[in-house]
Amino acid sequence: MSSHDASAWQELCDQLASRVLLLAEQVRPALDELERDEDVPERVRLLYDIDHGVARMRRLARDIRVLAGRSTDEAGTHTSSLLDVVRVAASGIEHYDRLHIGPVADRALVDHAADDVASLLAVLLDNATRCSQAPAMISTRSFGDGSLLVRIEDDGPGVDPAWAEALNRVFVGPVPPLSPANCRRSGFAVAHRLARKHGLGLALVCRRAAEATPEREGRRGTVAMVTIPPHLVCEIPEPVGALLNSPSEPVVDPGPRTGTAAGRRERASFADDVAAFSAATSSRFSPDTRSPRAHPAPSFISHPQGGAKA
């Protein structure tokens, strides 16, 4: 395909995605009014199902714009709490009922990054909840410099460590061009583009590598981790509104208190996560090995196990 043809396709995808986004926003006020006025439980459930479908349409349209190389920045009038961002991400996935929201830092994200971070997290949450019948867990922790670590853990079959390492090589390097291989698993391509746009760290780690204690050695699954730099993080303003109305309210765990045994285990797990993330994104990849030419993007359809679908 010539560069002129590629540009035309990008423009066409952007126009169609923008129209879908507009339609999703136009139908929302009517849905909100119907939900407020309805008191029959079965009808309320059906309205929530429609609301969920609209949220997934909105996410899909935004992803198309990302893949088309178009800006997804939307005019924001307020910052959004990290918990709101997580809930928006949850509203955009199919199996939101398989998600458990763990401790979430009492922080907010600046307006120009909130939607993009939600879109990136939606890719990882969608993958985690599709790969595991057991609930996936999302939680966050703060670093001393003001940055954040977001951790998404599933109990699925896991991924091959060599495959995860190859994918992490791609994530720390420039965004590779779309190809028949990575187009078929477009979620990772979306996540990579959004991470590079905002300077986010992104890595997949086998759970046995992320949890080094002996009693956890037999556990399966994958841990996806995202680091958010401090310049995108701020205090939660008062009042703060949610970005979208979520079709459900996932259970939110405030987390163990600091002085308890559970709190000490959480701090140890956090240290394990930081070590695993550092290893996955470390500078052992020299500038040459980070280039797409030296390490082409792995085929997202050739993974021998069932643990990564994005």
To the nearest 10 degrees (0 to 180), the angle between helices 111-130 and 82-91 is 50
Indicate if 54 and 86 belong to the same structural domain.
no
Indicate if 32 and 122 belong to the same structural domain.
no
pLDDT reported for residue 287 = 35
Please tell me whether residue 99 adopts helix, strand or coil conformation: strand
Structure letter (DSSP) for residue 252 = B
Indicate if 53 and 122 belong to the same structural domain.
no
Indicate if 1 and 58 belong to the same structural domain.
yes
Beta-bridge mates of residue 202 = 226
Residue 238 and residue 158: Cα distance in Å, rounded? Answer: 41
The gap from C-alpha 294 to its chain's centroid, in whole angstroms, comes to: 27
**What is the extent of the structural domain holding 130?**
79-310
CB atoms within 10 A of CB 262: 11
Residue 275: exposed, middle, or buried by beta-carbon count in 10 A (0-12, 13-18, 19+)?
Answer: middle
> What backbone torsions phi and psi does residue 24 show, to the nearest 5 degrees?
-60, -40
CA dihedral 280, 298, 193, 234 (to 10 degrees): -20
Half-sphere exposure of 264 (CA within 13 A, CB side): 3
Indicate if 197 and 301 belong to the same structural domain.
yes
CB atoms within 10 A of CB 73: 12
CB atoms within 10 A of CB 266: 19
Indicate if 255 and 292 belong to the same structural domain.
yes
Strands 136-142 and 148-153: antiparallel
Structure tokens at 227: 């680091």
Structure tokens at 229: 């730099």
Please tell me whether residue 205 adopts helix, strand or coil conformation: strand
CA dihedral 45, 51, 55, 58 (to 10 degrees): 150
Indicate if 153 and 268 belong to the same structural domain.
yes
Indicate if 146 and 207 belong to the same structural domain.
yes
Q: How many domains does the chain contain in total?
A: 2
Tens digit of pLDDT at every position of the chain (310 positions): 556 666 777 788 888 888 988 988 899 899 999 989 888 999 999 999 999 999 999 999 999 899 888 776 655 556 789 999 999 999 999 999 999 999 999 999 999 999 999 999 999 999 999 888 888 999 999 988 999 999 999 988 888 888 888 889 989 988 887 777 666 678 889 999 999 999 999 999 887 655 545 554 555 789 999 999 999 999 987 764 444 444 444 545 555 544 444 444 455 566 676 777 777 776 443 333 333 333 333 333 233 344 566 6
To the nearest 10 degrees (0 to 180), the angle between helices 186-198 and 111-130 is 150
pLDDT reported for residue 56 = 92
Contact 167, 298 (CB under 8 A): yes
User: Where among 22, 44, 72 does a domain terminate?
Assistant: 72
Which pTM was predicted? Answer: 0.76
User: Where among 24, 46, 72 does a domain terminate?
Assistant: 72
Indicate if 254 and 109 belong to the same structural domain.
yes
pLDDT reported for residue 177 = 79
Residue 221: exposed, middle, or buried by beta-carbon count in 10 A (0-12, 13-18, 19+)?
Answer: buried
pLDDT reported for residue 237 = 79
Please tell me whether residue 75 adopts helix, strand or coil conformation: coil
pLDDT reported for residue 68 = 85
Looking at residue 206, which CATH number applies to its domain?
A: 3.30.565.10
Structure tokens at 2: 């010539």
Indicate if 127 and 191 belong to the same structural domain.
yes
pLDDT reported for residue 181 = 67
> What backbone torsions phi and psi does residue 227 show, to the nearest 5 degrees?
-105, 135
